[in-house]
Amino acid sequence: MTIALVYGGRSTEHEVSISSAKAMHQALKQAGFSVLLIAITLEGRWYVQHGEVSKHISTDKSIHAVPGLGLFVDDVKLPIDAVFATTHGYGGEDGNLQGLCMLCKIPLCGCDTVSSALGMHKHLASSLFANEHIPTVPALLVTKEVLQQGSFDQIYAQARSSFGSDLFVKPENSGSSVGVSALKNCEIAAFGRAVELAGCYSERVLVQPLIHPLMEVETAVLRTQDNDLLVAGPGLVVDPGKEHVGFLSYEHKYGQIDTAHLRIPSGLDAETEETIREYARKAFLAIKGDGYARVDFFVCGTRIYLNEINTSPGMTETSHYPALMASIGYDLPKVCRHLVADALKRSEEERQRIYTPPSP
């Protein structure tokens, strides 16, 4: 069976995607699959690769997609049984790639178009979580129109009135802590710069209270081939640099020095851990999740807040999803086998649905 491993992409998380693909390439092979490498350039072009996953993308075998048929190189259909994408962020995690796979009738490991889009757009996801009585951090939405006007006095006053002087500003649909700012004793000038920075990565921006002191904990969700929903964790994020920046930064997620790591078990009491796992399960179902996801939380005293759900979590050597799954006996090859089986099962179910018009 051949799995197309898709990585790269037109995204701020392009390099993270490549690092994830390196780990997943080995895991898929160890799981017994043949692997076809497909790299997406920063310009969004797709190319078949040979050998090992690399930052250098060979552009000699360009891919074109034919809806209803599949992916082709030089008019020859690529032999793909399923796709596993380690793409993160814009274009690869927001439902676009997932929709292309569905149009081309290629089974996809992980979340589909709808759940990927919901997971990426944090404000929309929070509305669904509220319906399930899952506590989230309150947020004010800075719309595209306000960003274009460039005047933030009103939203600043509203944020100060609602949340106080310590604020957190982030893009609505970005990941890996790119474009975020933690602002203590926030003034209007710093607030404006933070909103403009976040607006460089997303057409809408979220403003939230900066919660402190807090613990960041993470869970991993996996839907098995038997349709069981496993939740691993929570694990406690230990970040040596958080006190300097106020949040888990991109550098501390993926850097080589003072990198954040996960402590499993978390050290929280059993009741709190079970509550977090139940919230993670409900959040995954709320977005109509499939395959796998990482669900992140804040714990502040006795209060638990769901921070966000990540439908394409990092799979690098230092990433937290693999560590969480390993803590319950699921190494990456085992995870891969379940995800591929689940993708094939869902694809078969989709093929059996009726899409033809009813007879007159």
Q: Which residues, listed in sequence order, are joined to residue 65 by a DSSP beta bridge? A: 71
Report domain 118-135+212-348's class: alpha beta
pLDDT of res. 56: 96
**Of residues 54, 50, 57, the one with CA closest to residue 18:** 54
CA distance readout (Å), 265 to 149, 220, 273, 324: 47, 13, 9, 9
Among 82, 91, 191, 170, CA closest to 126: 170
Architecture of domain 2-109: 3-Layer(aba) Sandwich (3.40)
CATH number of 140-209: 3.30.1490.20
Cα–Cα distance between 84 and 320 in angstroms, integer? 18
Domain positions in the chain:
2-109, 118-135+212-348, 140-209
Per this entry, what is the length of the chain? Answer: 360
Tokens of 278: 């139940």
CB 85 within 8 A of CB 19: no
Question: What is the pLDDT at residue 102?
Answer: 96
* Contact between 237 and 219 (Cβ < 8 Å): no
Question: What is the reported pLDDT for 175?
Answer: 66
The structure tokens 């090992």 sit at: 52
pLDDT at 356: 84
Per-residue pLDDT of the chain (360 residues; tens, 9 = 90+): 999 999 999 988 899 999 999 999 999 999 999 999 999 999 999 999 999 999 999 999 999 999 999 999 999 999 999 999 999 988 999 999 999 999 999 999 999 999 999 999 999 999 999 999 999 999 999 999 999 998 999 999 999 999 999 999 999 987 657 899 999 999 999 999 999 999 999 999 999 999 988 899 999 999 998 999 999 999 999 976 555 444 454 444 445 545 678 999 999 999 999 999 999 999 999 999 999 999 999 999 999 999 999 999 999 988 999 999 999 999 999 999 999 999 999 999 999 998 888 888
Task: Please identify which residue in the block is written with the tokens 């990540």.
Answer: 310
Q: What pLDDT sits at residue 71?
A: 99
Phi, psi for 292 (deg, rounded to 5): -155, 160
| CA–CA gap between residue 303 and residue 323 (Å, rounded) | 25
